[in-house]
Amino acid sequence: MNIAIVGSGYVGLVSGVCFAHLGHDVICVDIDKEKVKNLRAGKVPIYEPGLEVLLKKYLKNKKLTFTTSIKEATKKSIAIFIAVGTPSKKNGDADLTYVENVAREIALCMDDYKLIIEKSTVPAETGKKIERTIKLNLQKKYRKGAKNSIDFDVASNPEFLREGSAIEDFMNPDRVVIGVESKKAEKLLREIYRPLKPKMVVTNINSAELIKHASNSFLAAKISFINAVSQICDHLGADIEMVAEGMGYDKRIGRAFLNAGIGYGGSCFPKDVDAFIRLSEKSGYNFRMLKEVRAVNEEQKENFLKLIEEKLWIVKGKTIGVLGLAFKSNTDDMRNAPSIDIINALKLEGAKIKAYDPEGMPNAKKVFKGLTYCKDPYALAKGCDCLLLLTEWDEFAKLDFKKIKAAMRQAILFDGRNFYHDQDMEALGFEYYGIGRSLTERKG
């Protein structure tokens, strides 16, 4: 099938490459000329495992092309996915300016049937608004002398791709959700995903949009729940890792997304939780539970900072080494990374910050001023009064901690992801502090 994707960011690019892999002819659009130029040359602007290899393969056999022209993409395709950014406004609402612009442009250049599919995370009822925008602009076109009315459908097909494993998630989805209002739209979307033989959830557009909101907010709630429990563990001599394991074996609960830490970040959860709270307010419901999810997430960073302040005693003038900057491992994405608030607070208190991240440093340089970036964890450790583990990169599991300890001024490790085994670290001579693991606390 001929497919267009408008917006070649994380979601659009991964989807485009994967649709080409499924055998479709894909044309990806982006407003950013430089990005399109690089993508045409096979250069991926983000770090996503496996993406560049597939991009090059499908560029070469011409299953995948790039353009800056929505007109060109619309003419060549029957199904058009909208995957442009939907950033948060100051009040938490999703800013849908880009979505509206794209819908208008598609309407002004389409001259036969099109299926327009929203892929970006949008508030419920956006599908209806896209439909209205297209209708209004088609009318404008007829007034200018275009021929008869043009048939079209709008659908919702939310993405559930995790950065760092986006290709794997696309190719092996737990489910594909499609919100449709016509048999024709359903048939086309079923056809697009047929090679994956996925579990399909077919519903109306508003329900599909809500599935996305509710899923991401539920996952964020799971994280905040375990983080809240971790705070109690610290006071009761319990270990959150064992608590999560014990809970996780219950199939009704499951172990996934019960990793306590410094809170969730990234381009989705913080934004999606905010947007769902706002959407609920507009529907006349005060979603207090989600407000608490958000508050617990913020507190988790504050509690981590309090722990550092308490154990370091004096923060001013201390050298702090940060292992990991990206909002999670296997990505270079710094959007809403917990490292941002943590590092900024410590800098404000007068600490000197050294940092290392396998992929995140180029983006981090756009976020922070006055950090010393290091070439590896050993250079990072040199002269440090403590280390903070903020992103759980595999590479950090294999470090030579004897060498690290020897390079440090004092061997204190704050593990913001419970990545290391507390007793192993203590055996190596580190003063080790995790999240909700009171073993070290009890020892004093």
Q: Which residues are catalytic?
A: 268
Which position among 35, 301, 354, 437 is part of the footprint of ligand UDX (CB under 6 A)? 35
Q: Which of 127, 261, 360, 377 binds ligand UDX (CB under 6 A)?
A: 261
Instruction: Name residue, tokens 């001579």.
Output: 429
DSSP string, 332-378: ---TT-HHHHHHHHHHHTT-EEEEE-TTTHHHHHHH-SS-EE-SSHH
Closer by beta carbon to ligand UDX, 49 or else 184: 49
CB 39 within 8 A of CB 8: yes
Contact indicator for 391, 401 with CB cutoff of 8 Å: no
Single residue of 154, 258, 353, 355 touching ligand UDX by CB under 6 A: 258
- Residue 66 contacts ligand UDX per CB under 6 A: no
Q: What is d(CA 292, CA 23) in angstroms, rounded to the nearest whole number?
A: 44
Structure-token match 């490790």, residue found = 413
- Please give the single-letter amino acid code of residue 160: F
Residues 6+ positions from 180 with CB-CB distance below 8 Å: 153, 155, 156, 186, 189, 202, 203, 204, 205
Contact between 31 and ligand UDX (CB under 6 A)? Answer: yes
Residues 262 to 291: which contact ligand UDX by CB under 6 A? 264-269
Nearer to ligand UDX, 33 or 144 (CB): 33
Residues in contact with ligand UDX, total (CB under 6 A)?
Answer: 41
Amino acid letter at 88? S
From the CB of 360, what's the least distance to ligand UDX, in Å? 12
Q: Which of 1, 67, 206, 257 binds ligand UDX (CB under 6 A)?
A: 257
| 173 vs 302: CA distance, rounded Å | 35
The residues in 95-114 that bind ligand UDX, with binding defined as CB under 6 A, are: 98, 101-102
Closest CB 248 distance from ligand UDX, rounded Å: 10
- Residue from 268, 329, 337 nearest 87 by CA: 268
When the beta carbons of 223 and 323 are compared against ligand UDX, the nearer one is 223
Give the end-to-end CA distance of the chain in Å, rounded to a whole number. 64
Residue 124 CB neighbours (<10 A): 22
Largest CA distance in the chain: 82
Among 83, 380, 390, 408, binds ligand UDX (CB under 6 A): 83
String marking each residue 303-342 x if it binds ligand UDX according to CB under 6 A: ------------------------xx--------------
Report, in Å, the least distance between residue 304 CB and ligand UDX: 12
Which among 63, 140, 67 has a CA at the least distance from the CA of 103?
140
List residues bridging with 389 in a β-sheet.
323, 415
Among 3, 4, 10, 127, binds ligand UDX (CB under 6 A): 10
State yes or no: residue 117 binds ligand UDX (CB under 6 A). Answer: no
Binding site for ligand UDX (CB under 6 A): 6-12, 29-32, 35, 83-86, 98, 101-102, 120-121, 159-163, 216, 219, 223, 257-259, 261, 264-269, 327-328
